[in-house]
Structure 1
Amino acid sequence: MTQAHTRRYLKKVILITLALILILLVTSQAFARGVTAQIDHQDAEMGDIITLVVKTDFQTFDSPDFHSLDDQFEVLGSQRSSQIQIVNGNYQAYSRWDVRLTPKQAGDLVIPPFNVDGELSDPIVLHVSEAPKADARELGSSFLESSVNITEPYVQQEVLFTLRFYHLGQFLNGNIRPPSFDHAITQNIRNQFNYQKRIGGKLYEVYEWTWAFYPQKSGAMTIPPQSFNGRIQYRGVLKLVQDKTQPIELNVQPQPDTYPAQSAWLPAKEIRLTEDWQTPNPIRVGDSITRTLTLQADGLLASQLPDFQFKEQAHFHIYPDQPHTNNQATENGMQSQKVEKLAIVPTEPGDIVLPELTLHWWNTEQNTLETITLPSKTLTVLPALTSQNNTFDTAPLPETPETVSRETSTADSTTWSVSWFSALLLGLWLITLWYALKWRRALQNLPSEPTETANLKNDQAWSKSPEMDTVCDEAELDAKSLYRAVLAWQQQASVESSNRLLTDLQRLKAHLYHQEPLAPQTLADICAEIQRLQRQAQNAPAKTGSGQKLEPIYPNES
């Protein structure tokens, strides 16, 4: 086959492969089908108007049956919209229905699943409470009200403060200032949420703001009146609005006497503590065991979550990472999380026992003391393997912080189809690569020449390392740079170490992990020993095989 025929044949293969990939990208939308339903707020009062949104991630001519809502809701109206997007070659189609509802009764009302082209949405629970009795004639064309979810909280317990502005007619402009809470930490929960509410036969527009605050002092607490200034147009008349709320009195309770005195005070709606283990099999002396602790709380800030304390043990060392924290504002308050990773390194063979971990917290929903206990764990540690190359052993190294990503629920069929689709694309790519390599070999008529000279230089390059010479200079000698230089030196070729160098590197490792001070002479001893090994290697015959390399202290740093 000539080169021209080979090129034409390869072009046909590539074009066919690209066409198949394009077809798969377009048709793959048929596998990623789903229907979601959500409401704009899950806690409502009688008279509130709620917006229900049903959305598909595929194009359809079908429509949900909203008559199933008639028993518990009055459907005030609905609107349908469709959208098609092509972003970076990805084809996406959406269908959406916006439905306005008002509850017919108080209680926990269930919005049932909706069926669209055989796909079902999840049911939704709406909590509806009775509205306070009010006469719209007395309330007027606008008014302002404030409320808290609890009037007798514990110190440091989360309190939700809600401010609502009601008006008739058209809103033109206005402003409101964030409230001030004495001796408390404040967190914004919801900023200017808008909906409608029917009161006394009149339909009011409602603007709602929510803050969470955490009293830091027990005793009486007063939330001062809040004010709203603005303008509305009602029945063709321009009106100046100057509304004000009533003050709210709180009685902040101290920490209960029954709460353990040595434990961190944690008043929360719910707290969850979980652990995850990553252990080698089998475990040997010097191996790294990773234990991940995840603490989650409803009704607390991440700054209120305690740090875990671990005592140094005789048969293993514990190296904790910097904890990762996260706060998430929800309609019902703050949700926080703290994740801490621990590297556990056995120092002696035998059975090691990791003690149980106990956490006390106060359940503000049940007003009771709760205790979470992670049981103790016993691990069997074998002696370290004797390395034939006398390679360096290293302590567990700090990990690069991970980005927290939120989970999204997908159907099992979607997960399967994505895996199948990725495997098919990989197969097509491998076929194209095989033909490309075949064509390249056909064009190569001459065998490659041996490169013995280059290989010889590569084998001996480690013995003349300019980086080692620079780092070992008296003016630039420091622990971190020296460790990196030794890493680069070790990666050039297989190197047999000496007992003296191993001992000094163990001291350098312990210093980098702040386990013990480092004598200034240790760095100079490491440099001297490496220089001796360099001279020895220059006079020694070349050796085959590769030894284990040093791991970097900060793997992701360049």
Structure 2
Amino acid sequence: MTHRLGYVALLLILLSANSLAATGLSARLDRDRISEGETVQLILEAPGQVAGRPDTAPLEKTFDVLGISSGSRIQIINGKTDARTTWTLTLSPKQPGKLTIPPLRIGNRESQELLLEVTDAPVADSTSGADILIESELSPQQPYVQGQVLYNLRLLHAVPIQSGTLSDPKPDNTLVQRLGEERNYSTLRHGRRYQVIERRYALFPQKSGTLKLAPPLFDGEVPDKRQPGRSPFGRLFGQDPFFNSSPLDNLITPTRRVRIRGTARELQIQPRPGNARGSHWLPARQLQLHGSWSPDANQAQVGEPITLELELQAEGLTAGQLPDLTPAAVAGFDLYPDQAQRHTDTGSTGVTGRLRQKIAFLPKQPGKLSLPAIQLHWWDTTADQPRLATLPGREVVVTGAAPQPIQTPAVPALDSPRTPQAPAVTTGQAIQPGITPLESGNRWLWLSTLLASGWLVTLLLWWRQSRRTRADRPATEPASPPRAGTARRRFQSACQNGDPVAAQRALLDWAAAHWPEDPPRGLEALARRLSDPAACAALEELNRALYRERTGWNGTSLATALQQLPKPSRGGDNRPRVLPPLYPRSSS
């Protein structure tokens, strides 16, 4: 009987503990007033041993949840067991003001509502003495559209950073190019030593008007001075004097999450000035045009080429922004330009675009001919004035006879009757009996014509068969596409360098990684999946650049229009064709 009463008492204790565990969930903040950029800890506690995690969806509108940790403890006091479960949430407010922390649920438990006041963060200038500072610089303050803007971003920290990330600028309608690697050095601010991480960027705004740059954001972990270090022995054996004085305490330093925001920036982007001349808009700090002729002489022969080697260099412009320099037409010459070679250099002062191109001028008639001057209008952003870069022309005396067109002798029809002609006899010419010279020549002419016709027919049949074989051959499976991020960066770089072939290849690789189940097989198929008319027009321009000559390609519009690819759709692609087919079939 005594044992039964003991079992009943124990059962009642357990039931009371379970009922107490189901009563609720308490919540508290470690601080109820913080500054913008600081984090706060929300501690949830429930009686008993409780499994599960809190639902943080109600917090996501106002807070960033940086981390969640949980723990439990059991205490026995005067023979009574007290078990509790705690959850610690590290929160970073998204905005200043009086914010409400809504009730959170764990199973059937719900916490109470809390209030948190977030004040505006003080300006983290060089005199603030803060542990972490973010500084940024922009130059110039009023740039021109498509002109270069230098953006320097510095993270200064007086405390060690265990880990963290610093956001990159991502303004709308702007091409961003990183300049080199990060620079690390130390500096003094208000008598305090800081370690500096500096990044440099070149921004190319594509639209005039107000350009807004979001505040840079640092999210990381730093040592927590508010919590002393503890060795593992202290956590295992409690508050024992021996283990609390362990030398291992200093080896384990607790950390805390920090989020630091810099200052938002705005720029007024100026449009192209009204007095800017030329068909190309080239805002640059410096532009140089050089050229050399080969042969470097004032005389030439008909049919012998005169080669002009051009070199264009522009500070503050990418190679993709530099135009093709081939003249439209030159009287007395046929033009044969090579494909321009483009390269973009990066340095401390920004980007420098370089273009090299060779143009062969082939004289086709004798006389005194003029080779034209090469002129290029550009805008000096330092002096804010229009400039003209000129390569002088030259006069060339061309000798030799103009090439005569090849005349094919008329061949009489096979069915037409041939009237014998009396041979023209000259002195000393031997005449064989029964065969005239005209008949002998016609025999060789007919034989050569028949042989040439048979050779042409054979060549035509071979060409048609090889084309049919290529058309019927199944396409080989492409190699495994690269990651979307890598292909996208290659595409952006090719657009900036003005390389249409590399841009097409990288774009299709990007699309294959984006749509691995059904990758587009060409630009035409990719255009059908885009709903943006500007992107489709830029793709059509790329398509034309791949199959035309003597015309440069500027990839800035395509890179701006294709910042992201649309999300994959399960349905079929029924959008109309945007690009014309590369090989149109004639209707029969």
The TM-score bracket by the shorter chain reads 0.3 to 0.5
Q: If the length of structure 2 is used for normalisation, what is the TM-score?
A: 0.43
Structure number with greater CO (CA < 8 Å, separation at least 6) is 1
Q: If the length of structure 1 is used for normalisation, what is the TM-score?
A: 0.45
